[in-house]
Amino acid sequence: MISPDFKADLRLILQDARDTLLWKLEGLSEYGIRRPMTPTGTNLLGLVKHLAGAEAFYFGTVFGRPVDAPELWIAGDAEPNADLWARPDETRKQIVGDYRRICAHSDATIEALPLDAVGRMPGEGGSELTLHRALAHMIYETSRHAGHADVVRELIDGAVGQRAGGDNMAPGDASWWAAHRDRVERAAKEADRLNSGTESAPSEARGTARPAPADPQ
């Protein structure tokens, strides 16, 4: 019987999400990796910069092992969204290098501490959290932003896939995917017609302002 190694499993899943995120930058120009692709400015290099700050926060600051990193605006240390885009003077090499360096620091924290080690959020009355909880949060956080990066990359140049070693996509050429998209569109319109009695576009609101989350993202 194989004995479970929970820390190793969590670490493996986190690393897979990290690798996927960086893979989404490959082959793009400086404009491509910085280009805002949503109304809120989501861009590939900004996602990497943000996650560098998040790794440093959860595996550095929280456990008393500080490391130099981009400041998280949500933690109150920078202007709004400062960690979610790259200034012209911030290079790809610098931001990706920072991310790799900070991830290595995170891995050292994970290696050095047991899963039940307790850290504390900064600030007066900061809540406590275990290394296990910090790992679970960063897996969620990195996977979520890797998903953002997947969609952003597809919008930029059509490139898709789960990871470099396996795209996890249905087989099909460009014409097959165009037909598939048309099929999904027709189904959406038909469902809307059946449920609303009209063939007009759905009337629900398209995006609303979001309150700032309580914890760093």
C-alpha to C-alpha distance for 83 and 173, rounded to whole angstroms: 37
- Residue owning tokens 């890797």: 146
pLDDT one-digit tens code per residue, 6-20? 999 999 999 999 999
Per-residue pLDDT at 148: 97
Q: Which amino acid is at 114?
A: P
Per-residue pLDDT at 217: 53
Per-residue pLDDT at 61: 94
- What parts of the chain have a pLDDT lower than 50? 205-206, 208-209, 211-213
Do residues 24 and 146 lie in contact, with contact meaning Cβ atoms separated by under 8 Å? yes
pTM of the model: 0.85
